[in-house]
Structure 1
Amino acid sequence: MARSSSNKPPEAPTDSMPARVDPCVAMLVDKPPKGPEWAFEVKWDGYRLAVHIEPGRVRIITRGGYDWTNRFPSIVAEARQLRLTTAILDGEAVVLDEQGRSDFGMLQRALGRRPSAHEPGEIILFAFDLLYFDGCDLRRLPQRERRRLLEQVLAERKDAIHLSEEVEADGEEFLRVACAHGLEGIIAKHRERPYRSGRTDAWRKITCTRRDSFVIVGFEPSTVTGAIGRLLLAARRGGELVYVGGCGTGWTREESVKLRELLEEIETDAPAVNLKRKGAVFTQPLLVAEVEYRAWTDEGRLRHPSFKGLRGHHDGVEIFDQST
């Protein structure tokens, strides 16, 4: 699609393009908000990415600030075809299953973290915001205006870059349908708010089951040789890590063995949390687990947690708190 100057917001000044933008992160709430000022989208389960389009190059930056351009060749190729001078797209890289649902495990395999039949070319980007466009920093604009410009920019894209569609529906009904179809949840965005980095109630996530990321601070060995019995998890509260319980399900035998091998590489004699556990092996707080759970107990522990995958790696300490 050829760039049209008519897409450019009037009276917007020429702004220098930021090298990186910390993403806006949705706040977890129990119920969808009500009112015409709220827009709804599917909550995608993947890697949060910013696609920086500049004259002569495209960069893909992760939520943690790492350059992963070479891991997403199909997205890079399509970004070049947009024929934009400068832009920053905010979105989620995913791999879809046969039912059209995003699958984080399939995404990890496509990126080469585990043996897989999935190719990197199967990864697509669902773009849901436009932060910078044609010399203008759009973050000061309300969400509805950024959305209008994004729809124009991506009007003809259907390959590696897709527009994350807004759904015109009551939030509670949309959540019910999303859960019935096996989706992770929905996102609500306030149409009148500007883009703000960090966690904000202008974006709200409502999940079919609660899902978040926790730091792994150790493990308990399994009775099965070489495997893990339970992961010991922590969350950051008041500037420090606090133990939130153990997780003993959600992995295969093979995944358990691989996970233990990773953790044994970062063993430590100094626990990152105030915890005494006989037989436990403590680790440096460098790996992050994505965990699905039902609720919190009164003691601040996870209820019925299940391991869903790693969102971090110890060689660079990439931390993905939650995709969106």
Structure 2
Amino acid sequence: MAKRIKAPPAKRPEAVLPGFISPQLATLKTKPPSGAPWIHEIKYDGYRVQLHIDGDTRKAFTRNGHNWVERFSAIAGAFNIPGQAIVDGEVVVIHEERTNFSELQADLGRGDQDRLIYFAFDLLWLDGQDLRKMSQLARKGLLKELIDGNNLKEPIFYSEHHEGDGQELFEAASRLNYEGIVSKRVDAPYRSDRVEAWHKIKTVQREKFPENLRV
């Protein structure tokens, strides 16, 4: 009697990476919050960019959903990880020890990517899993593991945060002539909207550049 040959186990379909995800936007405030529910980050003066990594495929979406991967190819290529990820962050140029939007625009106008830096501050998707319902701190923890675990180096940087009193970081940002800070609730999910879970506090209370380019 012929042996019965078992059928191979069904192969699980690979997760399809979502397309562009409308970003979460911060609400402008005049002073930072304080207390345990909040963390605080430096507000970078650059272009909001959502990196999509899917094997060897890279995309780099602007805040309005335009794929600028050719303009940011150096950054997209430097985010060298296996598998899939969608990362939220900011592309900047450092000039005179601070991020400078005018210098960034000038470099992009020349097609010069040598000074471009990417500060990654959120992780929305990882290897088939949608992370947007996870808390802010949990997402940042996974992002740090992703960057450190794959030994990513310049031009990729993890956006560090300060816990506790936001006023302390805000005053430091003011002294250094930075644009401001962003305060984030540690327990909040990621929502494609302008939310109260993210506060932006500017050291100068005016918008210097078009709002559709900002965090």
1:203-259 deviation per Cα after TM superposition (whole angstroms, max 9, x unaligned): 0000101233xxxxxxxxxxxxxxxxxxxxxxxxxxxxxxxxxxxxxxxxxxxxxxx
Residue in structure 2 matched with residue 227 of structure 1 by the alignment = none
| 1:169 CA drift (Å) | 4.8
Query: What's 2:7 paired with?
Result: none
Q: Does 1:323 align with 2:184?
A: no
Report how far residue 119 of structure 1 moved: 3.0
Partner Cα distance (1:34, 1:26) in 2: 16
Which residue of structure 1 aligns with residue 156 of structure 2? Answer: 161
The question of 1:67 aligning with 2:67 is answered yes
Deviations 1:178-204 (A, max 9, x none): 100010000000000100011001000
Between Structure 1 and Structure 2, how many residues are aligned? 200
Unaligned runs of 5+ in 1: 1-13, 213-290, 292-308, 312-319
Give the C-alpha shift of residue 16 in structure 1: 4.1
Q: Which amino acid aligns with 1:26?
A: A
TM-score, normalised via structure 2 length: 0.88
Secondary structure of the residue aligned to 2:122 is strand
Stretch of structure 1 that moved more, 163-172 or 59-68:
163-172
Alignment of 1:64-103 (within 5 A): 64-79=64-79, 81=80, 83-99=81-97, 101-103=98-100
Matching of residue 129 in structure 1 with residue 122 in structure 2: yes
Aligned to 2:9: none
Structure-2 residue corresponding to 1:182: 177
Q: Is the 8 A contact 1:17 1:137 kept in 2?
A: no
Supply the distance in 2 between the matched residues of 1:16 and 1:211 (Cα, whole angstroms): 41
| SS of structure 2 residue aligned to 1:76 | helix
Between 1 and 2, higher relative CO (CA 8 Å, sep ≥ 6) is seen in: 2
Gaps of 5+ in 2: 1-13
Deviates more, 1:35-44 or 1:16-25: 16-25
- Which residue of structure 2 aligns with residue 104 of structure 1? 101
Residue 174 of structure 1 deviates from its aligned partner by 1.1
Q: Which runs of 4+ in 1 moved over 3 A?
A: none
Counterpart position of 2:132: 139
Structure 2: which amino acid aligns with 1:23? P
Q: Cα 1:50–1:120, aligned 2, differ >3 Å: closer, same or farther?
A: same
Change (3 A) 1:19 1:192: same
TM-score (norm 1): 0.59
Distance, in Å, in 2 between the alignment partners of 1:191 and 1:97 is 31
Residue type matched to 1:195 in 2? Y
* Structure 2 SS opposite 1:70: coil
* Per-residue deviation, residues 45-75 of structure 1 (Å, max 9, x unmatched): 1000100001221000111111100001210
Q: Residue in 1 aligned with 2:206?
A: 211
Percent identical among aligned pairs is 39
| 8 Å CA contact retained: 2:30, 2:205 | no
Alignment of 1:293-308 (within 5 A): none
Greater mean deviation of Cα atoms: 60-69 or 16-25? 16-25
